[in-house]
């Protein structure tokens, strides 16, 4: 008999579980992952909570366990096939199902889409080109994989850095696209929607240097050669670490979030002081300078792991993310600036899945016409 599963889940949520208790929870997960829950000695309500816990843990991150602060609310919605909770007025399951069926629009989520521009100006659609080796130059091979990556490999003369020292490529993702780039030194970059990265194909010389527009998550291989990212109004320098940069032009701040190691963030404006970040910290750069604060890492890198996680975010910030991922235009009727929501949902869902649940709060209404989403506050 499993004793007091609810208390055990609460302890895990609070980070107070012993290794033995974590092992019990993980045994539930392994049992559930085989789609066999009959052997679990738990009540129906408790089983629902365990199912939610298992679903959330499909997205474990190697840097940090995904906390499941949303499990209680997600249990209410698990029959819909996804888990999300909004901090506004909760609605009954009957209301949510009614909203869920009120729209049948199928604006699908983003996928692996990108354009690779070579140094000679040649453009390659990574969406359309076949998997396998797509480019072979002296000392360099570029391969496209089936799971949305391009991989750079040095061979022959390229290993010695004796050719094409100043060759630069650019990869661009459209709205509704994302892509991963693996560099010859072992570094990896995940590029979010509506973003671009310009980089040297072979990291030679005193710096490994790239330029970013938009958002990207970096896992940089350790080296004595510094890795430098130029983005909107700043330069980020590391030796080897994991971090995320959000530098979209339509965002008020440039946000750099550190997961492990250390980074140095230097504003382009010499009148603004550089800052060193510690893991779990985020720098926010605007016209006034750099502000550093602690943040929840999971919500920042959720996009890279295939999720949306909102934590009391304002509606317009949320809609910017949805607009980029679903490639839609957002139009507002009235003032929606004061509306804030929080929640968790997979980015693999159609846009209607997100909008219908947001509507269930009774605070906002969405109308979809083609690729245009019109947002209106519901007045009480």
**pLDDT tens digit string along 262-312?**
899 999 999 899 999 999 999 999 999 999 999 999 999 999 999 999 888
Please enumerate in sequence order all residues whose Cβ is within 8 A of that of 286, keeping only pairs 6 or more positions apart, or say none: 252, 253, 254
Mean pLDDT computed over 144-166? 74
At 144, which helix (H) or strand (E)?
strand 140-145
Whether residue 115 is found in the same domain as residue 70: no
Task: Report d(CA 273, CA 265) in Å as an integer.
Answer: 9
Placement of tokens 């298992």 in the chain = 54
Q: Please give the Cα distance from 209 to 143 (Å, whole number).
A: 21
Q: Report d(CA 278, CA 213) in Å as an integer.
A: 24
- For residues 172 and 196, membership in a common domain is answered with yes
Q: Do 133 and 217 have their domain in common?
A: yes
User: The CATH number of the domain where 218 resides is what?
Assistant: 2.60.120.1440
DSSP 261-275: S-EEEEESSTTS--E
Q: How far apart are CA 286 and CA 296, in angstroms?
A: 20
- Looking at 243, 272, 299, the residue that finishes a domain is 299
Establish if 105 belongs to a structural domain: no
Would residue 84 count as lying in a domain?
Answer: yes
Kindly report whether the global pTM for this prediction surpasses the value 0.85.
Answer: no
Is 76 domain-assigned?
yes
Query: Contact 172/194 with Cβ under 8 angstroms?
Result: no
Single residue among 299, 331, 351 that ends a domain in this structure: 299
Contact 51, 79 (CB under 8 A): no
Asked if 248 and 318 sit in the same domain, the reply is: no
Residues across the chain? 380
Question: Which of 60-74, 128-142, 170-184, 358-372 holds the top average pLDDT?
Answer: 170-184
Domain count, the chain: 3
What pLDDT, in 10s, does the model give residues 341-380?
888 889 999 999 889 878 888 899 999 999 999 999 988 7
Nearest to 230 by CA among 204, 252, 207, 258: 207
Residue range 245-260, pLDDT digits in tens = 999 999 999 999 999 9
What is the spatial distance between Cα 180 and Cα 272, in angstroms, rounded to a whole number?
Answer: 32
Helix, strand, coil percentages in the chain from 3-state DSSP, rounded to 5:
25, 35, 40
Residues 15 and 87 in one domain: yes
**Same domain, yes or no: 30 and 50:** yes
How far, in Å, are 71, 126, 200, 355 from residue 132 at the CA level?
Answer: 41, 11, 21, 38
Contact (CB, 8 A) for 277 and 244: no
Helices (H), 210-314: 297-301
Q: Is residue 106 in some structural domain?
A: no
- Residue 206 lies in domain: 111-299
Any domain includes 329? yes
Q: How far is CA 369 from CA 105, 107, 121, in A?
A: 9, 11, 37
- Check if the beta carbon of residue 361 is closer than 8 Å to that of residue 89: yes
**Does 186 have pLDDT greater than 80?**
yes
Residue 375, classed as helix, strand or coil, is strand
Give the pLDDT score at 36.
43
The residue from 262, 278, 299 where one domain ends is: 299
Tokens of 321: 């993310």
DSSP 114: -
Does any domain span residue 24? yes
- pLDDT at position 160 is 53
Q: In Å, how far are 196, 222, 233, 234, 302 from 284, measured between CA atoms?
A: 20, 25, 11, 11, 18
Same structural domain, 258 and 326: no
């Amino acid at each position: 008999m499993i004793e007091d599963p609810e208390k055990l889940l609460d302890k895990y949520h609070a980070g107070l579980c012993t290794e033995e208790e974590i092992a019990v929870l993980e045994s539930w997960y392994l049992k559930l992952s085989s789609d066999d829950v009959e052997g679990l000695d738990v009540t129906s309500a408790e089983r629902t909570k365990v199912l939610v816990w298992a679903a959330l843990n499909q997205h474990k991150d190697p840097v940090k366990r995904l906390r499941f602060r949303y499990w209680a609310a997600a249990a209410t919605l698990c029959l819909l096939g996804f888990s999300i909770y909004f901090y506004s007025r909760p609605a009954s399951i009957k209301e949510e199902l009614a909203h869920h069926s009120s729209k049948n629009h199928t604006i699908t989520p983003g996928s692996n889409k990108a354009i690779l521009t070579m140094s000679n100006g040649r453009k390659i659609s990574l969406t359309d080109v076949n998997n396998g080796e797509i480019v072979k130059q002296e000392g360099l091979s570029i391969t496209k994989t089936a799971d949305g990556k391009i991989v750079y490999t040095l061979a022959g003369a390229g290993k010695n850095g004796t050719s094409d020292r100043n060759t630069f490529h650019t990869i661009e993702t459209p709205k509704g696209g994302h892509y991963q780039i693996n560099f010859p030194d072992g570094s990896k970059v995940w590029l979010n929607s509506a973003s671009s990265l310009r980089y040297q194909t072979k990291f030679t010389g005193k710096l490994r240097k790239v330029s970013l527009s938009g958002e990207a998550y970096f896992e940089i291989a350790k080296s004595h050669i510094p890795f430098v990212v130029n983005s909107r109004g700043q330069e980020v320098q590391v030796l080897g670490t994991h971090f995320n940069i959000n530098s979209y032009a339509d965002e008020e701040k440039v946000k750099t979030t550190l997961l492990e190691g250390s980074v140095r963030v230097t504003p382009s404006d010499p009148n603004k002081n550089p800052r060193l970040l510690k893991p779990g910290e985020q720098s926010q750069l605007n016209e006034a300078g750099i502000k550093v604060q602690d943040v929840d890492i999971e919500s920042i890198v959720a996009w890279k792991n295939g999720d949306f996680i909102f934590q009391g975010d304002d509606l317009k910030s949320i809609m910017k993310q949805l607009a980029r991922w679903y490639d839609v235009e957002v139009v507002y009727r009235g003032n929606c600036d004061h509306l804030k929501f929080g929640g968790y949902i997979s980015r693999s869902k159609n846009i209607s899945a997100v909008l219908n649940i947001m509507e269930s709060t009774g605070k906002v209404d969405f109308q979809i016409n083609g690729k245009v989403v019109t947002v209106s506050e519901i007045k009480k």
